[in-house]
Every structure is written in C-alpha cells, then in structure tokens.
Amino acid sequence: MIQGSHESKIDTLLSKMTLDEKIGQTVMYSSGMDITGPVLDKNYKNYIKNGQVGAVFNATGAAYTRKLQKMAVEETRLGIPLLFGYDVIHGYKTIFPIPLAESCSWDLGLMEQTARTAALECTAVGLHWTFAPMVDISRDPRWGRVSEGAGEDTYLGSLIAKVRVKGFQGNLSDNNTVLACVKHFAAYGAAQGGRDYHTVDMSETMLRNVYLPPFKAALDEGAATFMTAFNELNGIPATGNKFLFEDILRKEWGFNGFVVTDYTAINEMVAHGYARDLKHAGELAFNAGSDMDMQGGVYKNHMKQSIEEGKIEVERLDEAVRDILRMKFELGLFDDPYRYCDETKEEKLILSKAHLKLAREAARKSIVLLKNENKALPIDNSKKIALIGPLADDQDHILGSWAAHGHKNTDAIVSVKEGFEARAINFEYAKGCDIIGGDKSGFNKAKAIAKASDVVVMVMGEAESMSGEAASRTNINLPGHQQALIAEIKKTGKPIILVLMSGRPLDLSWENETVDAIVEAWFPGTRGGHAIADVLYGVYNPSGKLTVTFPRNVGQIPIFYNQKNTGRPADVENPDPRYVSKYLDVDNSPLYPFGYGLSYTTFKYGDTTLDTNILTLNSTITASVTITNTGDYDGEEIVQLYIKDVVGSITRPVKELKGFQKIFLKKGETKQVDFIIKVNDLKFYNHQMEFNCEPGDYELFIAGSSNHKFTNKFSFEL
C-alpha cells in the first residue's frame, strides 16, 4: 500500500479540476511506437493537448517522452504531467530470460536484481510505469502466457511476485524506479482449454487458495497499480468485477493505488455479453473499480454522459483521479515532470557491461538440465561438434516474447553459434530446417556434418511468437520438421544433445527416448548464447529446477504436482487397477515433474529429522536434513520442503511446496539445511472462506524435486 504524503496537494489540485480534466486522468492511449493490441488511435497527441489523457504507453526514449510531456505540462490548463507506461517484462534493452525461465532459477535475489536493472534502463528512457510483474498461476502449457509468469506453484509464485515488485519499485521517490503493475487480476491463467482470453470459472476456495495469493503478496510489497484480466470470472468479466476490485482488492486488502484495464478490455465487455454498449460497459467497469481505461476510448467518449445521467457518481470519479494523481506525486512528477527524461542517463546505462553480465548470469541459472545420459554433458573441449538446428544461429527468437526494445540493438545479442565461436569450439554449423514450415532440403548438409563430428548439438524449439499473448497451442510438440530432423541425425549414431528454446513445457516424450541429453534453455535473452555454451561446456554447472510440469502428452493437461488425491488414486497398490483414476494409454505421472532438474554432480540427502512431532499455535517445528555433494563437480542444489495436510474440511493437495533453499556445495562437501515450520505456513481457505490451519496429521519430505515419498509425520494440536 502506498503511504500517501501528498493528500492535501491532491485535494487542492482536485478542487481546481473541471469534470473534463478529471475524466482525462482516467484515459490512457498507446503511442504509435509499439503495437500491443488490436486497435490504435493515432490522435493521442491531440488528446494530450486537450487534457483528455492522463497516461501514454508504448512511448519510450528520453527525447520523445520529453516532447509528449511538454504537451501535457505546457499546453494544458493545469499542466498535469503524464504517466509513461510500457511492458518492461524481462528487461528493457538488456533482455533477461523470460519470466518462466527466471523462475526456474529459484533465485529470489537474482530476480529482484533483474527487475531492478530493468527499472534502471527503462527509467533512463523516460518511463515511469511497467506493466509487470505478471503473476498469473498457470497449470496449462497450451496457454502461451505461461511464459510470462512464475509457473504453477502458488507459494513460489508469491515469493517471486514480491521480489519483482521490490525490484521495479524500490523507493518511488528515486527517479530510477517505476510503478509496478500486478497483472492480470484475476485467474487469467485458468482459461478453459488453455485458450487465451477464454472463460474462467472456479470455486472461491480455488481462487483464494491458488490464484489470488501472488497478487496479495505483490500488494503486501507495495505494488502501486493493478491491471484487469481479459477473462470473465464466474460469469462476470474481470474488468467489471466488483467482487475482485471492490470487495477483495480495495476493501479486504486495502489497496489504495489505481487499477488500469487491460487493452480495450472495457470495450470487450460488449462481446462478453455483459454490457449493452460501450457507454454501459464504461459504467460497469468504472463502478466496479477499473480506474483507468487502456486504449478503449470508452471513458473519454462516454463517462461525461454517464455522470450527467447519474450512472457514475462524481465521488467515484474523484476517488479514481485521487489514486492516479497520488502516483504522479509519489514519482515526483509535479516537482519535475522531466526528471525521467535524461538523455545522458540513457547513453550511460543502457546495455552497460554490468547489465549484460547479469543477463548472462540470469540465463545460466534459468537453464534446466532435463536429461544427461552416457555422460553426454558437459562436452569435452576436444570434441568436434556439429551444431544444428533452426535456433542455433538465431538472434531474434532468443529474446522471447515481450522483449521491449531488446531487438533495437542486435550487437549485444549473442546467438548459440556466437557463444560457440567465443569459446573457440571446433564446430561445423548447419541449420537443418526451419522452426516451422519450410522443407527438408537442409537435412543432407546437417547429416553430413553430424557424421563428421564427435557430438551433435541440436538447438531447436518454438518461435518466440508461439508463446506469449494470443499464442495458445493444442499441439505442444516440436513444430515443423524438427522431430524428423532429429530422427535423421539419430541414424548417424552420434550422441545428440538437444537444447530447447521454448516459452512453455513441450511434449518431449519422443525426444526423451531418442536423444542423450536435453537442456531446456527457454528464451534466455540477450546473452543466451554465452550462457548455453557455458552450461554445455561445464563452465557453469546447471542448477535450474522446473517451476512448471512437463506432461507426457497434451492429453494429460491440466497436470500439476499439487493435485488432489481423488477417492480412487491410481498410485496405490490397488486390488483391481482397473477402477482407479487413470488413463488407459499413458501413466498419470508427468514426463518431468515440478521441482525437477539435474546437475553435473549428484547430491545425497540424509534422513530428515524433526525436533518435535507436535506443532502448536505458538511453537514451530524444525525439519533438518544433511546434503552431500557426492559427484565430481561443485554445484548448487535447490532443496525443497513439501508438506501434506492429510485430512481437511475440504480435500487438500497431495503435497504442497512450503519452503526451499538454494545451496552451493563443493564436491564432497556436506551441509545441513533446516526448515522452520510454522502454523501460518499450513493455513488455507476452507468452505466458509476462513483462512485457518486445521488440527490433525501432516506429512513431509525434503528433496530435490516434488517427486518423492513422504518421510516424516507431525501433527498440529490446538
């Protein structure tokens, strides 16, 4: 919550404002610099000069934002400065791994640092506000926007939401911090069929236990703004959903920032079948708590009439304007509207060495080693490599979706091929095929260099446009002729290392049976080529763990680790395996589970011990385990604590992540890791929406993945 210290100034300014000027503050338009939605109204400059706009997005650059700011400050009656917003999701010009990738580092300090760095770069080009972090929990890799979040787990997603808000916002009075915008409120990731913008319908217990906590965590960290989701929730479009924005966000959680809609989301309430026309949509949205209209022109064109008709109260308008002005005061824009438009900072900060170094580190830590047989990895420098695949010599897709201005200076982007060249690897390169479409004419050259090599590295995956917004897939296999190319290379008998670039979990069941090693690099960003080479050659021992489940095939979706047990679980010795909850054609288990990731070394876990088996309201339990690095490489291990609430007043997940620690162990080294378990960690919303921990039995285990047996029991007693 923003602790406003400008209330009297806000009151004074508000008292001077006409109705039109107040309405102007609730309007945001995109500049023509970047297109992030279906429509563009090119008259935004006129609207600025007429005081009809309070914020502009997709405009960047110290000079350009200064030019637009001058229009607002010097050409309008009250000179109220504009807010400049942009989707700085994983970097502005120095692009870090996509958020899903970064979440697989489980490194909260790193994720705060990359958000901080993104803020440093984007404030140097005049931006005050980023439309991030996206905190939507998603259990469906068909949904392309799984790439923008922190995966499937609520506990981890909440911690990541906090550090990203902290990284972006820092102390708002500094001129190198930005307003965060927590999105998309709420439950956008639960779209039916994984189809973007599709319907969301769930119980309030599911909403409160799974999808809302990351938003609350972001708010507790002081998030200044929230963005509405496109989807409907239980029959009411989020953008017009009083339960979300009035009852929960403002009344229950005490939010006092402002809410911006998603792109033309108000207009879309007509298509939803919830509003008769745009004016009705504007009344429903504004009265439900959507303070600012992104790109829709609905508040600009209809709010005045709605107020004259008494459909919108002036008091509600004053509230929204107050919340918007508060953020402009917090940013210091009334003291100096140009304090973010500093061309010298732009030159010095953008793509600095320190930022590029961080980008390489973040990419290294986000990479997940999924398979490594026959000691395929790390590659010995003496080996002759055949580097094959449509993403091996790529500088476009490697940044992933929402790459802001990352493409505006390709000198900094390092492809895998350039990463190999930088390490003076002895390799031949052949593209082999396109990502999607194309033909097989490149197969022969690829096979030829494979035959002449010791090891084949195949860099394959999705185009960046195949994940992110409006990019759902019903088939999550490698696209195009990529599998056929792998099959051809397989015939040469050479060891194959498959490096994947993707924005989602793919169906890798066939690849898992076909190649020797699989490295998930996601879209690793500006320095991805260096980071991938660092991992393949053992310069960095991969430490990433999956924050999203990889299914055996798309038919298993939704599949996630913290599922319910059902009354006929298939994973117990069952007298008649027929009548249990299972598929006839595939095992219930995923291909790669949540929390899973390999290292070049091995870690041995000792027995877990508890200092007591009774938890009370005022006590804690310490769960301890020793871990030894039993392999040949120093490495990091993400030690995870999972707890099961055996019986609840509503059924409880078979396990839940309740703690983790990322530790570094030299080879041969042993460390003890302790987890302190408190009652608060075990609370959940019951059917009466009470947030409680219920007395009873619990089980736990500590391991390097969610796929493990329970080892210890304890009980909670009132």
Which residues are near ligand GLC by CB under 6 A?
36-37, 87, 131, 183, 262-263, 469
To ligand GLC, the closest distance from the beta carbon of 470 in angstroms equals: 8
What is the rounded CA–CA span in Å between residue 338 and residue 92? 20
Residue closer to ligand GLC by CB (options 87, 516) is 87
Q: At 465, is the secondary structure helix, strand, or coil?
A: helix
Residue closer to ligand GLC by CB (options 40, 202) is 40
Pairing state between β 427-430 and 609-610: unpaired
Residue closer to ligand GLC by CB (options 503, 593) is 503
Instruction: Kindly report whether the peptide bond that precedes residue 275 is cis, defined as omega within 30 degrees of 0.
Output: no
To ligand GLC, the closest distance from the beta carbon of 271 in angstroms equals: 15
Residue closer to ligand GLC by CB (options 294, 459) is 294
To ligand GLC, the closest distance from the beta carbon of 89 in angstroms equals: 8
Residue closer to ligand GLC by CB (options 406, 480) is 406
Ranked by CB distance to ligand GLC, the top (closest) residue is 36
Strand positions, DSSP E, 50-100: 55-57, 83-86
To ligand GLC, the closest distance from the beta carbon of 262 in angstroms equals: 5
Task: Give the single-character DSSP code of 680.
Answer: G
320 DSSP β-pair partners: none
By CB atoms closer than 10 A (0-12, 13-18, 19+), residue 437 is exposed
By CB atoms closer than 10 A (0-12, 13-18, 19+), residue 448 is middle
Of the candidates 640, 616, 662, the residue with the CA atom closest to the CA atom of residue 562: 640
What is the rounded CA–CA span in Å between residue 78 and residue 18? 10
To ligand GLC, the closest distance from the beta carbon of 684 in angstroms equals: 29
Q: At what angle do helices 528-536 and 353-366 cross, to 10 degrees?
A: 50
Residue closer to ligand GLC by CB (options 473, 552) is 473
Cβ proximity of 530 and 421 under 8 Å: no
- DSSP letter string, 212-236: SHHHHHHHHTT--EEEE-SSEETTE
262 given a catalytic annotation:
yes
- DSSP letter string, 423-462: TT--EEEE--S-SSS--STTHHHHHHHHHT-SEEEEEEE-
What is the rounded CA–CA span in Å between residue 694 and residue 453? 61
Of the candidates 407, 364, 430, 472, the residue with the CA atom closest to the CA atom of residue 145: 472
State the sign of the Cα–Cα–Cα–Cα dihedral 203, 208, 210, 215: positive
φ, ψ of residue 11 in degrees (nearest 5): -60, -45
Q: Which of 87, 107, 262, 291 is catalytic?
A: 262
Residue closer to ligand GLC by CB (options 131, 701) is 131
Residue closer to ligand GLC by CB (options 261, 608) is 261
Residue with tokens 């392309």: 144
What is the rounded CA–CA span in Å between residue 131 and residue 92? 12
By CB atoms closer than 10 A (0-12, 13-18, 19+), residue 615 is buried
List, by residue number, the catalytic residues. Answer: 262
